[in-house]
Amino acid sequence: MLANRRTAAAIGAVALAGALLSAGPALADSTAPSAAPSAKASKPAPKGDGAKSICKRLPKTESRIGTALNRLNGDATVPGSIARLEQRVNEAKSAGHTEVQNYLNDRLTFRKNLVPTLQKRQEDLKAVSTWCGAQGSK
**Is the residue at 24 inside a domain?**
no
Range of the domain at 119: 51-135
**Is the residue at 14 inside a domain?**
no
For helices 98-135 and 82-95, what crossing angle results, to 10°? 170
* Rounded to 5°, angle at Cα 22 from 16 and 27: 110
Residue 36: Cβ within 10 Å count = 8
Rounded CA-CA distance 75/85 in Å is 10
**Is the residue at 99 inside a domain?**
yes
Total domains in the fold of the chain: 1
**Is the residue at 131 inside a domain?**
yes
Tens-binned pLDDT, residue by residue, of the chain (138 aa):
555 666 666 676 666 555 555 655 555 555 555 555 555 567 777 678 888 899 999 999 999 999 999 999 999 999 999 999 999 999 999 999 999 999 999 999 999 999 999 999 999 999 999 999 888 765
Rounded CA-CA distance 34/50 in Å is 34
**Is the residue at 118 inside a domain?**
yes
**Is the residue at 70 inside a domain?**
yes
